[in-house]
Amino acid sequence: MPVRSRFAPSPTGFLHIGGARTALYAWAFARRHAGTFILRIEDTDVERSTPEAVQAILDGMQWLNLQHDEGPFFQMQRMPRYREVIAQLLADGRAYPCYMSAAELDALREAQRARNEKPRYDGTWRPEPGKALPSIPEGVKPVVRFRNPVGGSVAWDDAVKGRIEIANDELDDLIIARADGTPTYNFCVCVDDWDMKITHVIRGDDHVNNTPRQINILRALGAEVPVYAHLSMILGDDGQKLSKRHGAVSVMEYQARGYLPEAVNNYLARLGWSHGNDEVFSMDQFCQWFGLDHITPSAAQFNTEKLDWLNGEYIKKADSARLGALLRPFLEQAALNLEAGPAVDRVADLLRDRSPTLVAMAGQAHYFYARPAVAPDLLATHLADAARPALAELTGKLSTAEWNKASLGAAIKATVAAHGLKMPQIMMPLRVALTGQGQSPSVDAVLEVLGRAESLARLKPLA
């Protein structure tokens, strides 16, 4: 049977990092098996669903390049279908109308609690052979309840958590349609998974409790029960449940913080799944390796340091033009005049080895676009009087030197040797004058990218 997986977010907020991992796994699983990946928007909670959240989900998926093959389907557009299936279940006697009012239900639960019983629907309106149902109250619109099997249990072999078995007696006759006729959440999921011929349900383990109910409904529908894989939650750096408190939770926030989508994907891939000791791999590679059998059942802990390291690895090997294009908006945000300095991709190339994020890179790049204010103290620390004649000679040489890294480096070395100095005695004042700071890429490389005129202007105070 061809694999069909889906990602089924509720559009009640941004695409968060846990949702993105679920989407990534469901997507990779479909790719691995040359199957179909479906995007379904579960928007039946009309109070909390917003078009902005739908857009945020689409944006997040697009940024991560998780392309769906079918959809997005919107549950709100499938209402007629749900009603049709409810009518069929009623006609087949697999569901029944229940006229118990909210007040009666409350009283029932209250009484059960008082007897130390688990509050549950007592089956008052459930038809049974030979059972007389109460007379239908006037003017009351019924809810529709699913006729859950009695006795026995419902079990499945969860691809992540192993076998899970729940006694049917633990499960109420679930309301599948409210009094106003609108279908309820678990029911819509079943009809969708059935209609969309989903073979593998990969989702967060907050849905484990829904699964036995869904399996029973699917069976009543005569649907094939999919394989379930429930992913454990993601904990924050501190071991607590990941939440806004941990800073970036939204996927798009990672873009804003200067992460590359391939680094986020690679990081999420490893967050709860492994392939030996492989840490850095492409999405193509991931799609070839990914299987449900190597997903860890325990909770995964987010580790920002590791994400930064991975991001740095991807920054190191990104194509120059692309890296420049990715860096550009961060420089623009810092209100730097990019026309006044070197091409952004040259700067990115120079800084790529020392930047965990694009934000960090932009922070280091500022001196290429704005002349730095050189702190007199800093310069004084690094500039010995003994070095002044050599620096004067060197700036003279630089006004005519061939302007490339090799000959600039050679000119510096020759000057250091000729004056019997140590390398840092020349290098450090140059660095501070050029960049305003004590750390930077190699000075010959900075000179090269900065250009002759600007470099000489910055070196003037040394001579």
Enumerate binding residues for ligand GLU (CB under 6 A): 8-10, 42, 189, 203-204, 207
Phi, psi of 156 (to 5 degrees): -145, 155
Q: Could you tell me the smallest distance in angstroms from the CB atom of residue 457 to ligand GLU?
A: 57
Q: Could you tell me the smallest distance in angstroms from the CB atom of residue 131 to ligand GLU?
A: 34
Q: Could you tell me the smallest distance in angstroms from the CB atom of residue 12 to ligand GLU?
A: 8
Smallest CA-to-CA distance from 265 within 60, 36, 56, 71 is with: 60
- DSSP string spanning 284-304? HHHHHH--GGGB-SSPEE--H
Report whether 41 contacts 48 (CB < 8 A): no
Q: Could you tell me the smallest distance in angstroms from the CB atom of residue 447 to ligand GLU?
A: 54
Give me the residue whose beta carbon is nearest to ligand GLU.
Answer: 203
* Rg for the chain, CA atoms, rounded: 32
Q: Could you tell me the smallest distance in angstroms from the CB atom of residue 41 to ligand GLU?
A: 9
> Looking at beta carbons only, is 12 or 288 nearer to ligand GLU?
12
> Looking at beta carbons only, is 39 or 387 nearer to ligand GLU?
39
Report whether 459 contacts 433 (CB < 8 A): yes
Q: Could you tell me the smallest distance in angstroms from the CB atom of residue 207 to ligand GLU?
A: 5
> Looking at beta carbons only, is 42 or 345 nearer to ligand GLU?
42
> Looking at beta carbons only, is 10 or 437 nearer to ligand GLU?
10
For 199, what's the count of Cα atoms within 13 Å in the CB-facing half-sphere?
A: 10
Catalytic residue among 131, 197, 244, 397: 244
- State how far the Cα of 119 lies from the Cα of 408, in Å rounded to an integer: 81
The helix/strand/coil state of 412 is: helix
Peptide bond into 72 cis (omega under 30): yes
Q: Which two tokens stand for residue 189?
A: 């999921």
> Looking at beta carbons only, is 41 or 144 nearer to ligand GLU?
41
> Looking at beta carbons only, is 5 or 395 nearer to ligand GLU?
5
Distances (CA, A) of 147 to 81, 92, 97, 224: 20, 11, 10, 19
Report whether 421 contacts 390 (CB < 8 A): yes
Burial class (CB in 10 A: 0-12, 13-18, 19+), 213: buried
Q: Could you tell me the smallest distance in angstroms from the CB atom of residue 366 to ligand GLU?
A: 41
Report whether 316 contacts 352 (CB < 8 A): yes
Q: Could you tell me the smallest distance in angstroms from the CB atom of residue 174 to ligand GLU?
A: 15
> Looking at beta carbons only, is 200 or 458 nearer to ligand GLU?
200
Q: Indicate if 161 belongs to the active site.
A: no
Name every residue whose Cβ is closer than 8 Å to that of residue 395 and which is 6 or more positions away in sequence: 456, 459, 460, 462, 463
Calculate the CA dihedral of residues 28, 31, 35, 36 and round it to 10 degrees.
Answer: 70
> Looking at beta carbons only, is 76 or 375 nearer to ligand GLU?
76
- State how far the Cα of 406 lies from the Cα of 425, in Å rounded to an integer: 20
Distance of CA 44 to the CA centre of its chain: 23
Which residues form the catalytic set?
A: 244
